[in-house]
Amino acid sequence: MPEIHEEDDVPREVTLMEAKLLTPDTWADFEAFFARYHGVWGGCWCTFHLCSSSDFTRMTKDERREYHRRRVLEGRASGLLLYDRGEAIAWCQFGKAQDFERNNRNRAYKALALPESLTPDWRITCLFVDRSCRKRGLMSALAEQTLKAITARGGGIVEAFPHIQPENTRPAYTGTIRLYEKLGFEQVAQLGKSTLLMRKVIHNNA
């Protein structure tokens, strides 16, 4: 399994690419993209945040892929794919907050005892760019397109969970604190040793 690193988040000139939501119709594109990396991140298939820790550990790589596929078919998993000439080359997992079981179960998160007025509507959990397409500002473009998709669906409170990393290191699959700050997110609280909860409120005035 190759080591997964993302590009840095310094914006560069990016040719506008097509963005599509993950749906039953685009599942094959997501599957082909992730299969190039054996499911990404040790065979996660982007299920880590969708299920409990015990369920994630219990499942094999193939079972995680099938689990994600079933959730897509049932309308309980979503995300955004970026395409270059018809091929998926980047992915962002986002969705309704209640769909991310691991985040909801997180002890440090629950200990915050957030008031009802700050109950999240959406979460962004993962960003991944094809190795051959990095250093082109695609992570920033991907995050921006994701926020546009959330805005189009009514907006609201959006949470993100970037990893806390030393300066001048490449961002993990979560994106960086700096990336989210540039997109208007604010730091809320540290969750454990390596994760920061960030929040942005999107007002849809349409």
Euclidean distance between CA atoms 39 and 18, whole angstroms: 23
Range of weakest confidence among 2-6, 7-11, 76-80, 197-201: 2-6
Q: Look at residue 3 in the predicted model and tell me its pLDDT.
A: 30
Structure tokens at 95: 């969705």
Contacts of 29 (CB under 8 A, 6+ apart): 20, 81, 83, 87, 88
Q: Look at residue 1 in the predicted model and tell me its pLDDT.
A: 27
Domains of the chain by range and CATH?
18-202 (3.40.630.30)
Burial 129-146 (b: 16+ CB within 10 A, else e): bbeeebebbbbbbbbbbb
Contacts of 126 (CB under 8 A, 6+ apart): 46, 48, 49, 91, 92, 93, 173, 174
pLDDT over threshold 80, residue 133 = no
More confident residue, 150 or 5: 150
Helix count and strand count (H, E) for the chain: 7, 7
Q: Are 82 and 145 in contact (CB under 8 A)?
A: yes
- What integer is the mean pLDDT of 93-121? 95
pLDDT over threshold 70, residue 16 = no
Predicted confidence band of residue 7 (pLDDT cuts 50, 70, 90): very low
> pLDDT tens, 143-199?
999 999 999 999 999 999 999 877 656 657 888 899 999 999 999 999 988 899 999
pLDDT over threshold 60, residue 200 = yes
> pLDDT tens, 33-81?
999 999 998 899 999 999 999 999 999 999 999 999 999 999 999 999 9
Tokens 């926020």 identify what position?
147
Residues pairing with 126 in the sheet: 93
Euclidean distance between CA atoms 66 and 62, whole angstroms: 6
* Residue of 125, 121, 129, 180 lying closest to 151 (CA atoms): 121
